[in-house]
Amino acid sequence: MITAYKCQHCGHVMYPYHYRCVNCGAREFETFAPSDKAKLLTFTIIEQLPWGFDERGRVLGVIEFTNKVRAMALVDVDADTDEVKLGMKLSVHWEPVRDNYGEKVYGLVCRPA
């Protein structure tokens, strides 16, 4: 799972890591794991993917975890893309999201909760 960062000076929550806080520039952070539940803030259904993907209808979205961490994620709806709605509740998992010359790359994968 990803690691999120909470600024010890202003409380701002960040992902991914920055050497200085996005909000106040401070350098001390507390690390924590996002929850396993999130909602979908926006999404797209990609029909023409970059080189390296042999598929269509891949759903990517921006999610917000219940503990306020935000991230981009893959939304797995078994090709039923009509099911994807703004604001929908999601369960979040850590699973392979792409294959890099035979090596699995892990990322955030969401399914309708």
Partner 1 sequence: MKPVVIAGAGMIRFERRDEDSLVDMLAMAALKAMDDAGLGDHPVDAVVVGNMASGLFNHQVSIASALVDKLSLYPAAAERIENGPASGGSAIKHGYQAIASGMADVVLVVGGEKMREVIGPRATDVVAYMSQPEAEYIYGVSLPAMAGMFARLYMKKYGVTPEHLAQVAIKNHAHGLLNPYAHIQMKITLEGILTHPDSVVGNPVVADPLRLYDCCPVSDGAAAVLLTTPEIAQTLGKKPPITIAGIGQATDTHALHEREDPTDLKAVTIAAEKAFAMAQCTPGDVDVAELHDAFTILEIAESEHAGFFAKGEGAQALVAGETTLGGKLPINPSGGLKARGHPVGATGVAQAVELVWQLRGEADERQVANAQTGFMVNFGGFGNNVIALVLRRDS
β-strand partners of 31: 5
Does position 77 interact with partner 1 (CB under 8 A)? The reply is: no
User: Per rule CB under 8 A, is residue 48 in the interface with partner 1?
Assistant: yes
Q: Of the candidates 1, 25, 33, 53, which one interacts with partner 1 according to CB under 8 A? A: 53
Residues with Cβ within 8 Å of residue 23, at least 6 apart in sequence: 7, 10, 12
- How near is the Cβ of 81 to partner 1 at its closest, in Å? 8
Q: To the nearest whole angstrom, how small is the minimum distance from the Cβ of residue 15 to partner 1?
A: 7
- Contact (CB, 8 A) for 74 and 91: no
SS3 of the chain: helix, strand, coil, percent, to 5: 5, 50, 50
Identify the residue among 50, 101, 102, 103 touching partner 1 (CB under 8 A): 50
User: Which residue lies nearer to partner 1 by CB, 9 or 57?
Assistant: 57
Using CB under 8 A, which of 45, 77, 93, 112 touches partner 1? 45
Q: Are 40 and 84 in contact (CB under 8 A)?
A: yes
